[in-house]
Structure 1
Amino acid sequence: MKKTLFLGPPSFDGFDGGAGSRYQAKREITSFWYPTWLAQPAALVPGSKLVDAPPHGQSVEDVLKIAKDYELVILHTSTPSLANDVKFAEAIKAQNPDVKVGFIGAHVAVLAEQTLRENPIIDFACRHEFDYTCKELAEDKPWDEIKGLSYRNKFGEIRHTEDRELIHDWDAMPSVLPTYARDLDINKYFIGYLLHPYISFYTGRGCPAKCSFCLWPQTIGGHQYRSKSPDVVGRELEEAKSLFGDRVREYMFDDDTFTIDKQRAIAISKHMKRLGLTWSCNARANLDYDTLKELRDNGLRLLLVGFESGNQQILDNIQKGVKIEVARKFMKHCKDLGIKVHGTFIIGLPVETKETIEDTVKFAQELSPHTIQVSIAAPYPGTALYAQAKANGWFADDTLVANSGIQTSTLRYPDLSSEDIENAVEQMYRRFYFRPQAIVPIVKEMLGDPQMLRRRLREGGEFFSYLKERRSSQDVAHRKAKALV
Structure 2
Amino acid sequence: MRILLVYRPHPEGARDPFTSLMPTGLGYVNGVLRENGFESRLANLSGVSWREVEEFLRRERPDVLGISVFTHNRFESLRLAALAKKIDPACVIVLGGPHATHSFETILAKHREVDAVVLGEGEETFLTLVRALEYRGNLAGIDGLAVRQGAGVSHSQRSPITDLDALPPPVRYMDDAWGCDIPRQLEFIITSRGCPAACRFCSSPRFWGAGLRFRSPRSMVDEIRTIRDRYGLIYFSLRDDTFTVRKDRVIEFCKLLLKEKVYILWNCQSRVNAVDEEMLLWMRRAGCECVQYGVESGSERILARLGKRITPQQVRTAAGATRRAGINLSIYLITGVPGETDEDVDATLRLVNEIRPHDGQVAPLAYYPGTAIFDEAVRLGKVAADLFERDHGEAQYVRSDPFVARSGETLLRALTRVGRKARFTQADFASQRELLGYCHGTNLAQGEWLEDKGREGQAAELYREIVEREPENPWGWLAQGGLFGLQGDVKSAKEAFSRVLSIVPGYVPAHLALGDLCQELGDRNGAHRWYEAARGLNPYDPLVEERLKSVSRRSGKKKGGP
Q: TM-score range by the shorter chain?
A: 0.7 to 0.9
Deviations along 1:322-374, one digit per CA (max 9) or x if unpaired, are: 21112112111111111012211111234322321232233223322111111
Where 2:13 maps in the other structure, the secondary structure is coil
**Shift of residue 73 of structure 1?**
0.4
**Shift of residue 376 of structure 1?**
1.3
Where 2:52 maps in the other structure, the secondary structure is helix
Residues 401 and 338 of structure 1, relative CA distance in 2, 3 Å threshold: farther
Q: Which residue of 2 aligns with 1:481?
A: none
Where 1:120 maps in the other structure, the secondary structure is coil
Unmatched segments (≥5 aa) in structure 2? 425-444, 453-478, 487-508, 510-541, 543-562
Q: Which residue of 2 aligns with 1:91?
A: 83
Residues 384 and 134 of structure 1, relative CA distance in 2, 3 Å threshold: same
Q: Which residue of 2 aligns with 1:231?
A: 218
Q: 2:318 corresponds to which letter in structure 1?
A: F
Residues 61 and 304 of structure 1, relative CA distance in 2, 3 Å threshold: same
Q: 2:366 corresponds to which letter in structure 1?
A: A
- Cα distance in 2 for partners of 1:51, 1:446 equals 42
Is the Cα–Cα contact under 8 Å of residues 356 and 422 in structure 2 kept in the other structure? Answer: no
Is the Cα–Cα contact under 8 Å of residues 80 and 400 in structure 1 kept in the other structure? Answer: no
Please list, as runs of the form range in 1=range in 2, the aligned pairs for 1:45-444 lying within 5 A after superposition: 45-46=33-34, 47-54=39-46, 57-68=47-58, 69-141=61-133, 142=137, 143-152=139-148, 157-183=151-177, 184-186=180-182, 199-218=187-206, 220-245=207-232, 248-273=233-258, 274=260, 275-286=262-273, 287-395=275-383, 398=387, 405=394, 407=395, 409=397, 411-412=398-399, 418-434=401-417, 437-438=420-421
- Cα distance in 2 for partners of 1:240, 1:169 equals 21
- Cα distance in 1 for partners of 2:235, 2:365 equals 29
Residues 390 and 162 of structure 1, relative CA distance in 2, 3 Å threshold: closer
Is the Cα–Cα contact under 8 Å of residues 357 and 419 in structure 2 kept in the other structure? Answer: no
Is the Cα–Cα contact under 8 Å of residues 195 and 242 in structure 2 kept in the other structure? Answer: yes
**Shift of residue 178 of structure 1?**
2.4
Q: 2:231 corresponds to which letter in structure 1?
A: F
Is the Cα–Cα contact under 8 Å of residues 10 and 59 in structure 1 kept in the other structure? Answer: no
- Cα distance in 1 for partners of 2:316, 2:193 equals 28
Where 2:4 maps in the other structure, the secondary structure is strand
- Cα distance in 1 for partners of 2:403, 2:218 equals 49
- Cα distance in 1 for partners of 2:334, 2:348 equals 9
Is the Cα–Cα contact under 8 Å of residues 250 and 279 in structure 2 kept in the other structure? Answer: no
Q: 1:49 corresponds to which letter in structure 2?
A: R
**Shift of residue 132 of structure 1?**
1.2
Q: In angstroms, what is the RMSD of aligned CA positions?
A: 3.0
**Shift of residue 206 of structure 1?**
0.6
Q: Which has the higher helix share?
A: 2
- Cα distance in 2 for partners of 1:241, 1:128 equals 30
Residues 223 and 352 of structure 1, relative CA distance in 2, 3 Å threshold: farther
**Shift of residue 114 of structure 1?**
1.3
Where 1:150 maps in the other structure, the secondary structure is strand
**Shift of residue 303 of structure 1?**
0.8
TM-score normalised according to structure 2 size:
0.68
TM-score normalised according to structure 1 size:
0.78
- Cα distance in 1 for partners of 2:263, 2:157 equals 42
Is the Cα–Cα contact under 8 Å of residues 334 and 365 in structure 2 kept in the other structure? Answer: yes
Is the Cα–Cα contact under 8 Å of residues 12 and 404 in structure 1 kept in the other structure? Answer: no
**Shift of residue 39 of structure 1?**
1.4
- Cα distance in 2 for partners of 1:324, 1:299 equals 28
Is the Cα–Cα contact under 8 Å of residues 63 and 91 in structure 2 kept in the other structure? Answer: yes
- Tell me which stretches of 4 or more aligned residues in structure 1 moved more than 6 Å: 399-404, 439-443, 448-451
| Identity among equivalent pairs (%) | 25
**Shift of residue 318 of structure 1?**
2.2
Residues 285 and 446 of structure 1, relative CA distance in 2, 3 Å threshold: farther
Where 1:166 maps in the other structure, the secondary structure is coil
Is the Cα–Cα contact under 8 Å of residues 433 and 439 in structure 1 kept in the other structure? Answer: no
- Cα distance in 1 for partners of 2:451, 2:312 equals 32
Report which structure shows greater RCO (CA 8 Å, sep ≥6). 1
- Cα distance in 1 for partners of 2:195, 2:352 equals 25
- Cα distance in 2 for partners of 1:201, 1:333 equals 25
Where 1:140 maps in the other structure, the secondary structure is helix
Q: 2:161 corresponds to which letter in structure 1?
A: I
- Cα distance in 1 for partners of 2:241, 2:21 equals 14
**Shift of residue 48 of structure 1?**
1.0
Q: 1:237 corresponds to which letter in structure 2?
A: I
- Cα distance in 1 for partners of 2:403, 2:383 equals 14
Q: 1:263 corresponds to which letter in structure 2?
A: D
Deviations along 1:246-292, one digit per CA (max 9) or x if unpaired, are: xx231111111110001001111223332112222111113111111
- Cα distance in 1 for partners of 2:410, 2:88 equals 49
Q: Give the number of the structure whose alpha-carbon radius of gyration is greater.
A: 2
**Shift of residue 304 of structure 1?**
1.6
- Cα distance in 1 for partners of 2:32, 2:329 equals 34
Q: 1:7 corresponds to which letter in structure 2?
A: V
Where 2:408 maps in the other structure, the secondary structure is helix
- Cα distance in 1 for partners of 2:167, 2:316 equals 38
- Cα distance in 2 for partners of 1:79, 1:436 equals 31
**Shift of residue 403 of structure 1?**
6.5
Is the Cα–Cα contact under 8 Å of residues 21 and 44 in structure 2 kept in the other structure? Answer: no
Q: 1:8 corresponds to which letter in structure 2?
A: Y
Q: 2:154 corresponds to which letter in structure 1?
A: H
